[in-house]
């Protein structure tokens, strides 16, 4: 079986290696008084467009909207593609046999690694590749550095893999390196982010992610439910041009705007690659400013959790 035939199988089924995506939006409740401090959010966010992609929301009944979220996928792909639930991805025994007969090789090129989330992705990929008879010949960790990831891609290409699964650190800075992989005939599958200018089905097979817009909507609805529709909150987000985390931000902002009694009074972006320490620092600073202006109030933290994996392209 030729590589082109494998690509056809992969395109028909979109992807078999669908795993949840990164957690990166933190919301906390601040006191009922405090200083207004807002930023524009991650680069390239579009809150007006996001508001048109929401389920019906009754500010007096957020639970109804939470239930409605289970009925469909709310995220779209980088170019507006409709998503396919990962549960619909199946390979027949005959297709698996053909893939195993290829003796194909794969490389996993991460944006960063070493944490529980990245380890889970690698474990899942290796497990599925083994089931398909595909040998993983390299796993790289760019530590969220685009220049390092470009170098990783070039090093991996010297090993001549048939497949690369990757999460681009920066859609613009890494595009030329991924183009070298395309020119070399490598089949690309992306997770969560796509290089600038790349077209599904032409430059890459597909992109896999969670329902990240739905994650943002869910976080806002849970917050509104906890607050009984009234309160002032702080928002900590991923301060980067990263497709899926922008979707979470847009989903949250568009949803919380449906609750007139809730106001975002402080926002802070966290660029990474160390998200935990800066997020804790930002949260502490927000709380300290609130305490300096009035008595402290109850604090509630809502983190976005992985949702149903979906596939675009």
Query: What are the pLDDT digits (tens) for 80-94?
Result: 888 888 788 889 999
Domains of the chain are: 3-21+78-210 (3.40.50.2300), 26-71+212-312 (3.40.50)
| Residue 60: DSSP 8-state | T
| pLDDT average, residue stretch 127-145 | 96
pLDDT of the residue at 81: 81
Calpha distance 225→245 (Å, rounded): 23
> Cβ contacts of residue 51 below 8 Å, gap of 6+?
254, 257
pTM: 0.73
Note the pLDDT of residue 92. 93
User: Has residue 48 got a pLDDT over 60?
Assistant: no
Q: How far apart are CA 59 and CA 256, in angstroms?
A: 9
| Nearest one of 213, 299, 198 to 254, comparing CA atoms | 213
Best-predicted range by mean pLDDT among 51-60, 107-116, 132-141? 132-141
Q: How confident is the model at residue 167 (pLDDT cuts 50, 70, 90)?
A: very high
Q: How distant, in Å, are the alpha carbons of 96, 154, 155 from that of 158?
A: 27, 7, 5
């Amino acid at each position: 079986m030729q590589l082109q035939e494998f690509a056809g199988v992969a395109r028909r089924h979109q992807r078999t290696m669908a795993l949840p995506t990164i957690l990166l939006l933190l919301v906390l409740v601040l006191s009922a008084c405090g200083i207004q401090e807002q930023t524009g959010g991650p680069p390239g966010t579009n809150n007006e467009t996001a508001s048109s992609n929401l389920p019906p929301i009754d500010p007096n009944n957020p639970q109804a909207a939470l239930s409605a979220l289970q009925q469909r996928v709310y995220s779209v792909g980088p170019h507006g593609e409709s998503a396919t639930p990962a549960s619909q991805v199946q390979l027949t025994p005959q297709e698996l046999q053909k893939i195993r007969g290829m003796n194909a090789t794969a490389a996993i090129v991460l944006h960063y690694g070493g944490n529980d989330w990245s380890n889970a992705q690698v474990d899942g990929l290796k497990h599925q590749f083994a089931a398909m008879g595909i040998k993983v010949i390299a796993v790289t960790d760019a530590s969220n550095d685009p220049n390092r990831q470009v170098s990783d891609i070039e090093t991996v290409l010297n090993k001549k893999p048939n497949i690369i699964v990757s999460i681009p650190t920066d859609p613009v800075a890494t595009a030329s390196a991924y183009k070298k992989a395309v020119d070399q005939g490598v089949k690309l599958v992306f997770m969560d982010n796509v290089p600038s200018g790349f077209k599904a089905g032409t430059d890459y097979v597909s992109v896999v992610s969670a329902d990240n817009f739905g994650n943002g909507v869910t976080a806002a609805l849970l917050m509104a439910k906890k607050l009984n529709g009234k309160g002032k909150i702080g928002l900590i987000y991923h301060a980067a041009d990263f497709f899926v985390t922008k979707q979470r931000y847009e989903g949250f902002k568009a949803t919380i705007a449906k609750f007139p009694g809730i106001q975002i009074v402080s926002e802070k972006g966290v660029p990474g690659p160390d998200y935990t320490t800066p997020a804790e620092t930002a949260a502490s600073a927000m709380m300290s400013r609130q305490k300096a202006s009035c008595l402290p109030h109850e604090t509630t933290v809502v983190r976005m959790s992985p949702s149903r994996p979906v596939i675009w392209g």
